[in-house]
Amino acid sequence: MSEVGPIIESHVVLDTHCPVRVDRFAADVFRCLPSRAAARKALKRRDLEVDGEHWVSGRYLSPGQTITLRQDSRPTAKPYPRDIVFPYLDEHVAVAIKPPGLPTSGNYWKTLENALAHNLALSTEHDALRVSRPVHRLDVRTGGLIVCARTGTAMTSLSESFQERRVSKRYRTIVVGRLEGEGECTEDVEGRAAHTLWRAVEHTPSLTTDWLTTVECRPVTGRTHQIRRHMQGLGHAILGDDLYGGRKVLRGKGLYLWSLSVRVPHPVTGDFIEVDIDEPAKFESCRRREAARVARRE
């Protein structure tokens, strides 16, 4: 039997979770496992344990059991040589700017996680992870801030902070049409509760869609494509969204959705890490271009 890796995160199963299969529960609580398929692979590698035992994916959990994730026993992937910007960095936590089009993680070489290995040396802390790991995800087409753990302590603490919703995030997007005021969306996403707060911040005339609206969104929950689905549900799809926006103004400039701000408790000091960045230049370029086209027609 191969040596087991150090524990990086554990969760106790509650009554409210059950009945639930171990792979479904693992994919829900361990943010570094992006899907049930990833959880099943971790079970096969014996990186996931239930009360210290190795399980198969089809078994159901019971209240009071503890599910533990150990550091990935696979050989580390070859670092992906892509430079990444870090607005915040210490020996426990890195906050990276993920370029749009780059997957956070997964069975690919060109991922943010593999790029972290190229950009960051091993932490000097005693429980340093072999490779720094993102503790949450952004859609492939979404760019901006993403929080990464550099130690086992940080992985556990940060994951708990996300699970307990002690993390605040703010996104900037441009949507099709004129959206006024502010509000919230609470429509379920794939049968799970989802909650997004939004506020319109700027309106831009457009020849193609009459108006474009710049919107700030604060997701309370973190479901897959949550902001994209909620904006589409309001009747204002995100500019460049070829999945939910249909034929709405696709200019080959990518998805106009960006993670601008994150606030998260530091895993060691408990003080809040607060990181804010500017919107990408393409946002202002889009607004200026659309307004100029309308002005030329007048």
What end-to-end distance do the CA atoms of the chain give, in Å?
75
Count of beta carbons in the 10 Å neighbourhood of residue 221: 13
C-alpha separations of 289 from 194, 200, 283, 285 in Å? 34, 20, 10, 6
Query: Which residues are paired to 172 by β-bridges?
Result: 216, 258
Asked if 83 is an active-site residue, the reply is: no
Which residue in 15, 139, 271, 276 is the catalytic one? 139
Q: Which residues are catalytic?
A: 139
